[in-house]
Structure 1
Amino acid sequence: MKRRTMPTIAVLAATTALVLTGCSSNSDSSDKIEGAGGEASTSPKTPKDSSTAPAKLPDFGLPADVKVEIESDTTGDKAKDRILKEQAEGLMARQRVYVDLDPNSRYLTRYYADEALAFYVSEIKKAKAEGRTITGLYRYYDRKVQSHDDDTATVTYCEDRSKAYAKDIKSGKARKTKPSPEDFIKNTATLARTEQDTWLVQSFRGETSSKECQ
């Protein structure tokens, strides 16, 4: 299948402020990590628990201080489960790229394309120039394939970054922030199928302080 060029989702410009920034409402944005901006005045609720087992994914070689938890959210539908598996691998790949700070990483080109790829290339270059990487725990849950056909798919999922932080490369110190509702993000990703029968994220958007994800 040839990959289609999808319409741009009006998100990348808004999401630029999210990457390598935290989500606490009382800290400078340079001290935060990959979360979306937004206003909040109350403490976050405990994210919804789930008995779903973690997704079984390849080893992406992340350092010990970067942990990623992704619920498998399998459906029993072969096509949907394939999409969810590759989307989960893309989330792992994103963390690896932020560890390596390599804008030409094969992890990017394997899992991202079009607007999403251009966005991450730009943000990785910025993070590298500013001497920042990532640390902490990233949680992804309630992943659902909302629609799909032979060539395209839309996946929604929750993200918890309450324990994820920016880290100064030179000092090795984490720039910790207080948890806030902004740490809980509802994401929507558009994926496209390639001629090699793989799924790539083309574009995405995120809603911070999502009540659905708290």
Structure 2
Amino acid sequence: MSSFIRAAMATAAVSGLVLLSACGSGDESGKGDIEGAKDGKKSASASPSSSPSRSKSLGAPDFDLPKDVRTVFDSEDMTGEPKKDEILRAHEHAVKAMGSAYSAEKPDWSLIGRFYQDAAGERLRANVKEYRAEGKVGTGTYRYYNRKVTIGKSSAAVTFCESQRDAFAKVAKTGKVIRTKPSMSDFTSAKDIMEKRGDTWVVIHMASKGSDEKCAR
């Protein structure tokens, strides 16, 4: 399957960042540094900073998602713990910003910069430009589940599963959907490293593992 989220995260994997063995595994209350956080800061000058005041005043941003694109998040993943749920909500916004960048007629680079910075922001911009140069946009439903938060000293990790069973690439000019047969490649496990800057948690590093049976559903 050729689609926008997997393309972005799969190419963003760095050898220094080790994925957890399964979505949601690992200690959720670690006090040390999150593995991969330092890698994410190597390209800090590559992407603009977010606007804390704008984030605080507007709350959840408006995402320019076409009618044929849906992002679905399991409500059961919310923990009831204020800090973890704050991170999960910010992560949901980040994923929607990524989806908007790949599927909207014109990518909103400021929205990407609000939720993806440092190495993650640099890689995401490059991937969006490459994807759009191929004349493709995303379409269909992207599902996210088994999201778990591990909080460190200055950063947090969100591990999660993604299903693209009902998502596809589409030729932008003609609207033709490039459909593929269902396979294990529809399921991905991923890990995003996040850091709070101002009033907003942003993704600074991301990695993924495709065709993960642990995420199949």
Question: Which TM-score applies when normalising by structure 1?
Answer: 0.71
Partner of 1:127: 131
CA distance in 2, matches of 1:71, 1:127: 28
Partner of 1:209: 211
The counterpart of 2:164, out of the listed 161, 165, 180, is 161
CA distance in 1, matches of 2:64, 2:74: 19
CA distance in 2, matches of 1:148, 1:78: 16
Amino acid aligned to 1:200 = V
Contact 2:64–2:104 (CA<8 Å) still a contact in 1?
Answer: no
Alignment of 1:1-214 (within 5 A): 22=1, 32-34=2-4, 35=6, 59-72=62-75, 73-100=77-104, 102=106, 105-149=109-153, 151-194=154-197, 196-214=198-216
CA distance in 2, matches of 1:199, 1:115: 15
Deviation at 1:147, TM superposition (A): 2.8
Structure 1 unpaired stretches of 5+: 1-21, 23-31, 38-56
User: Number of matched residues?
Assistant: 163
Deviation at 1:61, TM superposition (A): 3.4
Structure 2 unpaired stretches of 5+: 11-59
CA distance in 2, matches of 1:132, 1:61: 16
CA distance in 2, matches of 1:63, 1:201: 23
Deviation at 1:59, TM superposition (A): 4.5
CA distance in 1, matches of 2:141, 2:212: 19
Deviation at 1:125, TM superposition (A): 1.1
By percentage of residues, which structure has more helix?
2
Deviation at 1:129, TM superposition (A): 1.5
CA distance in 2, matches of 1:62, 1:180: 26
Deviation at 1:197, TM superposition (A): 2.1
CA distance in 2, matches of 1:82, 1:75: 10
Contact 2:65–2:104 (CA<8 Å) still a contact in 1?
Answer: no
CA distance in 1, matches of 2:206, 2:193: 6
Partner of 1:4: none
Contact 1:145–1:154 (CA<8 Å) still a contact in 2?
Answer: yes
Deviation at 1:77, TM superposition (A): 1.1
CA distance in 2, matches of 1:77, 1:206: 26
Contact 2:66–2:104 (CA<8 Å) still a contact in 1?
Answer: no
Identity %: 36
Q: Secondary structure at the match of 1:193?
A: strand
